[in-house]
Amino acid sequence: MNKYSDYLDYCKKIHDINMSIAVLNWDLETKMPKNGHKFRAQQISTLRKVSHELSTNKSYGDLLNKLKNNNALDFDQSRNIDVSLKNIIKR
């Protein structure tokens, strides 16, 4: 598997976690059983921590830096790497 495929798989994992957070937030706002808020908030908090850890992981940053210097990437791929690097800097 090439490094760009590794990058895409990693991004999908982060995206899946973030979408799970969105569903849990929606559930918290609309369908939460009485006295269930504490437990749902804990689940959301845990997933946010996991998402942050994945997004700021050193190995992820190393992968992005290797891809940044890869001349074989097309324009869209290079742009994805640039955006991901900027997102790491923001965090």
Greater confidence (89 vs 19) lies with: 19
Taking alpha carbons only, the member of 11, 15, 47 closest to residue 28 is: 47
Half-sphere exposure of 4 (CA within 13 A, CB side): 14
pTM for this entry:
0.85
Average of per-residue pLDDT across 50-59: 95
Quote the radius of gyration of the chain (alpha carbons, Å). 16
* Percent over 90 (pLDDT), the chain: 79
Question: Residue 90: its pLDDT value, please?
Answer: 74
Q: Would you say how long the chain is, in residues?
A: 91
Sequence spans of domains, the chain: 3-90
Taking only the tens place, the pLDDT of each residue in 23-45 is: 999 988 888 888 889 999 999 99
State the pLDDT confidence band at 1, using cuts at 50, 70 and 90. low
